[in-house]
Chain A
Amino acid sequence: MTRGFIPLLALVLAGGMAALSWATDGFRVVTSDGARQLAVERRPLPLPDIRLIDQDGHPFSFADYRGKTLLVDLIYTRCPTICGVLGENFRQVLEHSGANKAGRNFDLLSISFDPAHDDLQALKLYGERYGAVAPRWRIAVPSDRRGLDTLLRSFGAVVIPDGNGGFVHSSDVYLVDSAGRLARIFDADAPWSLSGAAIHEAAR
């Protein structure tokens, strides 16, 4: 063994572990979605007030939901894949929470990020497919392009064209607490935990 070997190795190991720990938030996440989930759980994120229009043509904004818990998903109505899962999840969330009194203290909101194609007609059809009735479950689009950009940025959602006219996008579900803060982010594959979490949050 040569002089300086042990100190150099120790330095490299310490630096490497520090870098890996930094990149994985302490070895807890390897994906950006996971990092985002952890970040908002630690510190709920106040959301800017964004104006939207629902499937019945009613304008509303995030501020209207103050005092209520809100579950949000991001969709586009022509979506052939994951949005169907999201829609079905929300349908089941409503079904599961129907018998529970606290289950009425939260609302659902599906926001389209494709205003170019999603007019009121398209939103209404999407809602009817899953039995969505406003105001309990609104299918909505932001009123303008800037609102949409602000929304995606504050939710930390990445939406990119897939080259075939559709989009690659996050399938996360976002929980906005009664103070209007983004408080939890869920993976889309667990409708049971979604309704449970929403009921729990609404009952607080």
Chain B
Amino acid sequence: MSEGRLLAAAGFWVVLWLPPVRSALESDMAVHMAVQLPLLIAIGVLAAPPLRRFEPRLLADADWLGIPGLVLAAFATSLWMLPRMLDQALADPLAELGKFLSLPLLGGLPLGLSWRRMPGLGRAFVWANFIPKLGAVGGLYLAAPTRLCAYYGVDQQAEAGWTLITVAAALGLVSFVAVFAGRPRAMFAPHDGPA
């Protein structure tokens, strides 16, 4: 079971790395930001449960309440959302490789490993911060007076803005229902192996 997850994660990674898939997911700014980057992070999250038994005991202990892991994931994922880094990933194959390695390994993996160590309220805090900020970034893209990425036009930028706002609204609705309808397991449970 766990080997299957690991294999699936590696398989997804290879598929995303295939040149036709890469160019398809990167030719549009909205798809680049709202599909490719989250998928790369998801690959790391998917690989976390099978890799947990290889996590050094020292590291697992030091990751108190999952805080350092969460902070690491926040840095690694924000870095690749900077317009300059989106450009860089398109212009420089080395930066692209850096994106493909750091998003799963420094973003998704620590998030997956730390998620279980976080208190329930901590997980809720993460969602409650992430969702409005995602919407705010979308708003900034819509309001930006200039083109932010050299490789994407203003119309793509606006489209990316609307996409992020839509995703934020959808996630907000789902989390609202999850919390208020009393079925928060899907979003707030310690995802780790079969629930």
Q: Which residues of A does B touch, CB under 8 Å?
A: 1-5, 7-9, 11-13, 15-17, 19-20, 23-24, 29-35, 158, 160, 162, 168, 170-171, 187, 189
Contacts and interface: CB of A to CB of B under 8 A. Distances in A.
User: Considering the complex of A and B, which 10 residue pairs feature the smallest CB-CB distances, nearest first?
Assistant: A16-B75, A4-B62, A5-B64, A8-B62, A158-B150, A168-B153, A32-B87, A2-B64, A8-B68, A12-B72
Given A12-B72, A16-B72, A160-B151, 4 more contacts: A8-B62, A11-B68, A32-B149, A158-B87
A8 B75 contact: no
Contacts of A171: 147
B72 A23 contact: no
A78 B145 CA distance: 23
Interface of B: 58-59, 61-64, 67-68, 71-72, 74-76, 78-79, 82-85, 87-88, 91, 145-153
A31 B62 contact: no
B61 A170 contact: no
6 contacts: A4-B62, A13-B71, A31-B148, A32-B87, A158-B151, A168-B152
A148 B151 CA distance: 18
Contacts of A8: 59, 62-63, 68
B71 A31 contact: no
Given A9-B67, A9-B68, A30 B82 contact: yes
A29 B84 contact: yes
Contact of A20 (B58, B75, B83): B75
A24 B62 contact: no
Contact of B146 (A5, A158, A187): A187
Contact of A34 (B71, B84, B91, B145): B84
B79 A20 contact: yes
B75 A23 contact: no
B61 A4 contact: yes
A30 B85 CA distance: 8
Contacts of B58: 4
Contacts of A15: 72, 75
A32 B68 contact: no
A3 B62 contact: yes
A30 B148 CA distance: 8
